[in-house]
Amino acid sequence: MARFLFIRLLQTLPVLWAVATLTFFMVRYAPGGPFTAEKSIPPEILKRLEAHYGLDQPLGVQYLRFLKNLVTGREPSIRHANRTVGEIIRESFPVSLELGSWALLIALGIGLPAGMLAAQKPNTLQDYVPMSAAMVGVGLPTFVLGPLVVLLFALKFGWFNTSGWNAPSDRVLPAFTLGCHLAAYVARLTRGGMLEVMGQDFIRTARAKGASGWRILTRHAWRGGLLPVVTFLGPAAAGLITGSFVIETVFNIPGLGKYFVGSVFDRDIPVVGGTVFFFAALILFFNLLVDIAQAWLNPKVRLE
Amino acid sequence: MKPIFLVATVGLGLALAGCKKSDSPAGSGSAQSAKKGDVKDAPSRIDGKMVLLRGNGAEPSDLDPQLVTGVPEHMILMGLFECLTGQDPKDLHPVPAAAERWEVSADQLTYTFYIRKNAQWSNGDAVTAHDFHRSYRRILEPTLAAQYAYMHHVVKGAQDYNEGKLKDFAQVGYKVVDDHTFQITLVGPTPYFLSLVNHTSWMPVHLPTVEKHGKAYERGSKWTRPENFVCNGPFTLAKWEVNQFISIVRNPKHWNAAAVKLDEIRFLPITDQATEERMFRDGKLHVTDTVPPTKIEVYQKNSPAYIRIDPYLANYFYRINVTKPPLNDKRVRQALALAIDREGIVKFVTKAGQIPAFNMTPPGTAGYTFRSSGSAGVAEAKKLLAAAGYPDGKGFPSVEILYNTQDTHRSVAEAIQQMWKQNLGIEVKLLNQEWKVYLDSQRQLNYQICRAGWTGDYVDPNTFLDMWLTGGGQNETGWGNKEYDRLITEAGRTADAAARLELFQKAEAILMDEMPILPIYFYTRSHLISPKVKGWHPTLLDLHPYEHLSLE
């Protein structure tokens, strides 16, 4: 196990380096720069601005400075002038982490039981109802569902605030919107995975021995049946807890998601680097967790 | 398959039915909002205090008045800092502020400001002429690289100092006569000077504070964080919750604190128009930053007391790259201009009461309205196009309109595409680009026709006309005209107001004959605003001095 972890951690280094390098050159070569504005800046001012942020240096030097910032997070943001990249992530990540965790709970809480139910009696009403709902959930983007739940539960019924991140109740609508969307995927994956396992020999054996349907589901089938969900959840969870641009915009939430999109629009190079790198590291970390979970769920998978 | 469809349809039906239900069991406080189109008013007191809640667009990049460039920052800073002159709440004419009075020399080149003796910084220090002197030095220091330093270039020696050509700041036209007397010497007579000194770039900063938290003449000082902040305006910075709100509260040290009615203003950064509109409807805002175009008619019909649309000192136009055929022929440009139905665009596309534009400078800008030669019609446009060698648009090469990715710009471009096809028989293509890519293409003249907008920096025709000087930084059309350059330069030296405006008339006539730009409309600014807000007058720059606002 220790050896496995060590090798996996070593493997992440080249991946992170590749992500960082690609990010740097893509944002550096994108047309327009951080100071491109509708009112063009006098050339001598522009020169000094670029000098201040080291953008007048040879590309190699800029690249090294960019890499260094990924480790220290001390580089100031260009768009948010009095804060550093590290501060931006420290301030906004807890918000996204909380929202993402609630959403994940909702997604699993709805998605897993729905998928299990459907798999238990495929091609019956018990399958069609949750799966049709899931199709609606998959097809309904969050930028539609978000405003819809606001109109209904905030403006019509007045149960919640339309947006914001102050009262505890402000978590409900965004977490629900984000969670519902994901629940749909979870439900479909659970159903698929479960159905596959239910058709296998060891399940038939269990049935032959007279085990009840419920017992088969909760004792034998779930381990194998949930493998696709677990695999999916790794990157999905990393995505959830680093914030969603759409949800944060619709509900005006001070999360990290805004920076992913905003920093690219602003060509705010240090923040683009910091957020992308952070996200990449999280994905790798969650994939590692997934591998460990898979080994635990499926005896056929060996960590070595 | 069938059952799935059935269930899905039933499910959807239920969801829709839920939306339509009109009077449902209510949660707390929903009685008012239950009826369609009803707006819940934001409370006028929060914990007994008069707090104005204002939607403010994007999250401010900083609160250093000498470094920021955006409108959201301006909206906050005008509560935090006070310039030498202030603005009248009704028409923004200059009124005494940090300076209680001023004198202008007969040649209009020297302004002497008498700073009031009771003006104080929020930390208790006196506001003196030295503060203004040091602040203006800071913004002009080349190392600070302040984007709006050019607003000071009307002052003698300022441009040279800013560009590093002049090393001795004593030679720049700022002079401390005594602690409370500050003198400014200009390059030429500048009739709009007293309005110019209201701009954020003319706000003083507390240099000792700036130096305490960083370097005075470099970026990156942490002095703009709430715990470090020192200012001299009617409000001080209380809280800055990033991406949530910025709260400014009444400054008890301000000389006019007794007259300020609001206890606090909260600026909420909300980038999404629809989100902002929902917050307003839910009583979470007194004033919004904008109104979604689709909601304008709804509010005008159902809740007219809650919407305001006022003229704004800005215009919407198309730049033309005059360096490439076929658009290097001015007859083609004139034909294109004539073939746009501007009334149709403002009435059916943009819908917010915009004013059709046939010239560059908004009418009534500091007493200046362009004398139009009367607009010819489509027939004339066809004639011009034929004269240029394209009768009925035959043989006209393919031309592209570039715009930055946004719904309104696309709709306007589509409308114009259709009008040119119908009226002139020419085909144009549309191309959209992401904001910075589009700005880059525009700068590099890598376009044929390109959507553009311009907001006046101050209320004077100069801000709309001096950008078209040959090779000017904002020109971006490749167009230049010697006579035009001469007229604008001469206007900058002319002290007589009427003669000066006449020079602008002549210059703009040249611009509108040469047509390197196609004016489309003059902007309006629309807000959703609670009727409880008092003292909010329509002003051309959409500025509303906060010391005059109150909540009923």
pLDDT of residue B69: 87
Interface test with A, best of B229, B282, B450 (most A CBs within 10 A): B282
Confidence band of A260 (pLDDT split at 50, 70, 90): very high
Establish if A158 touches chain B: CB-CB under 8 angstroms: yes
How does B133-153 read in b/e, with b if 16+ C-beta sit within 10 Å? bbbbbbbbbbebbbbbbbbbb
pLDDT computed for residue B322 by the predictor? 95
In the structure, what pLDDT confidence band is assigned to residue A302 with cuts at 50, 70 and 90? low
Which residues from chain A sit within 8 angstroms of residue B434, using beta carbons? 265
- Domain shared by B330 and B199, yes or no: no
Q: E-assigned strands of B105-198?
A: 110-115, 174-178, 181-185
Confidence of residue A94 (pLDDT cuts 50, 70, 90): very high
Using a CB-CB distance cutoff of 8 angstroms, which residues of chain A are in contact with residue B271?
249
Q: How far is CA B181 from CA A55, B187, B208, in A?
A: 42, 20, 20
A8 and B CB contact within 8 Å: no
- CB-nearest partner of A158 from B19, B26, B67: B26
Average pLDDT in chain A: 89
Q: Does A163 touch chain B (CB under 8 A)?
A: yes
A165/B244 touch (CB, cutoff 8 Å), yes or no: yes
Task: Name the DSSP letter for residue B399.
Answer: E
User: Domain residues of chain A, as ranges?
Assistant: 85-297
- Two tokens at B118? 């009771």
Residues of B in contact with A173 (CB under 8 A): none
Q: What's the gap in Å between the CA of A74 and the closest CA on chain B?
A: 12
Say whether both B210 and B321 belong to one domain: no
pLDDT digits (tens, 9 = 90+) for B353-389: 899 999 999 998 888 999 876 667 888 999 999 999 9
Question: Which ipTM value was assigned to this complex?
Answer: 0.90
CATH code, B91: 3.90.76.10
Give A93's Cβ-side CA count (13 Å radius).
13
A79 touches A151 (CB < 8 A): no
Report if residue B488 sits inside a domain: yes
Q: Residue B367: give the domain boundaries.
A: 313-524
Q: How much is the pLDDT for A211?
A: 81
Inter-chain CB proximity B8 and A132 less than 8 Å: yes
Q: Is residue B423 part of a domain?
A: yes
Nearest neighbour of B440 by CB, restricted to A31, A82, A253? A31
pLDDT at B342 > cutoff 90 = yes
- In terms of domains, do B370 and B480 share one? yes
Examine the pLDDT at A284 and tell me if it is beyond 50. Answer: yes
- Cβ <8 Å between A164 and B24: no
Tell me, what DSSP letter sits at residue B53?
E
Contacts A164 to B, Cβ<8 Å: 244, 279, 284
Residues B211 and B358 reside in one and the same domain = no
Residue with the larger pLDDT of the pair B490 and A198: B490
**Considering B174, B201, B219, which residue would you say is the last residue of a domain?**
B219
Top-confidence residue, A118 or B29: A118
Contacts of A27 in chain B (CB under 8 A): none
CB-based contact A36 B142, cutoff 8 Å: no
Q: Which residues contact B301 (CB under 8 A, 6 or more apart)?
A: none
| Residue A135: pLDDT band with limits 50, 70, 90 | confident
| Contact yes or no for B147 and A45 at CB 8 A | yes
Average pLDDT, chain B: 89
- Is B372 a member of any domain? yes
- Give the mean pLDDT of B69-91: 94
Query: A85-297 in CATH: which number?
Result: 1.10.3720.10
Give the nearest chain A residue to B38 (CA atoms).
A155
Residues B91 and B213 occupy one common structural domain:
yes
Question: Minimal Cα–Cα distance from A25 to chain B, Å?
Answer: 16
Q: CB pairs below 8 Å between A and B: how many? A: 167
Give mean pLDDT, residues B202-222.
Answer: 94
pLDDT tens, B18-50?
333 333 332 333 334 334 457 888 998 999 999
Q: Which of B165, B215, B436 to mutate against chain A (most A CBs within 10 Å)? A: B436
Domains identified in chain B, total number: 2
Interfacial A residues in 17-46 facing B (CB < 8 Å)? 30-33, 35-45
* pLDDT the model gives residue B223: 94
Taking the C-alpha atoms of residue B433 and residue B26, their distance in angstroms, rounded to an integer, is 46
Q: Which of B143, B147, B163 sits opposite A41 (nearest CB)?
A: B147
CA-based nearest residue to A175, from A234, A101, A232, A120: A101
Residue-wise pLDDT for A212-259, tens only, equals 877 887 778 888 888 889 889 988 999 999 988 999 999 999 999 999
Q: Domain boundary residue among B219, B251, B283?
A: B219
Return all residues near B426 (Cβ < 8 A) that are at least 6 apart. Answer: B385, B390, B393, B396, B399, B420
| One domain for residues B331 and B194 | no
Rg (CA), chain B: 26
The answer to whether the Cβ–Cβ distance between B219 and A92 falls below 8 Å is: no
Say whether pLDDT at B299 is over 80: yes
Give residues with Cβ within 8 angstroms of B383, minimum separation 6.
Answer: none
Specify the pLDDT at position B495.
85
B318 burial class (0-12, 13-18, 19+ CB within 10 angstroms)? buried
Length of chain A: 304
CB contact under 8 A, A49 and B453: no
Is residue B15 scored above 90 in pLDDT? no
* CATH value at residue B437: 3.10.105.10
Cβ distance B278 to A49 less than 8 Å, yes or no, reads no
Q: What pLDDT does residue A303 have? A: 59
Mean pLDDT score, B260-268? 96
Of the partner residues B18, B274, B436, the one whose CB lies closest to the CB of residue A147 = B274
Name every chain A residue with its beta carbon within 8 A of the beta carbon of B145.
Answer: 45, 48-49, 51-52
Query: In this structure, which amino acid lies at residue B128?
Result: T
Is B16's pLDDT higher than 60?
no
The closest CB to that of A81, out of B34, B67, B453, belongs to: B67
pLDDT for position A294: 84
- In the beta sheet, which residues pair with residue B112? B103, B183
* In a shared domain, residues B351 and B459: yes
Q: What was the pLDDT predicted at A222? A: 83
Which of B185, B219, B253 is the last residue in one of the domains? B219
Q: How far apart are CA B552 and CA B529, in angstroms?
A: 13
Ramachandran area for residue B481 (φ above 0: left; ψ -120 to 50: alpha; else beta): beta
CA distance B454 to B463: 9
Please tell me which residue of chain A has the smallest CA distance to B213. Answer: A82
Asked if the structure places residue B398 within a domain, the reply is yes
CA nearest A187: which of A228, A244, A140? A228
pLDDT at position B497 is 87
At residue B294, the pLDDT reads: 86
Task: Clarify whether residues B185 and B322 are in a common domain.
Answer: no
Helix (H, G, I), strand (E, B) or coil at B542: coil
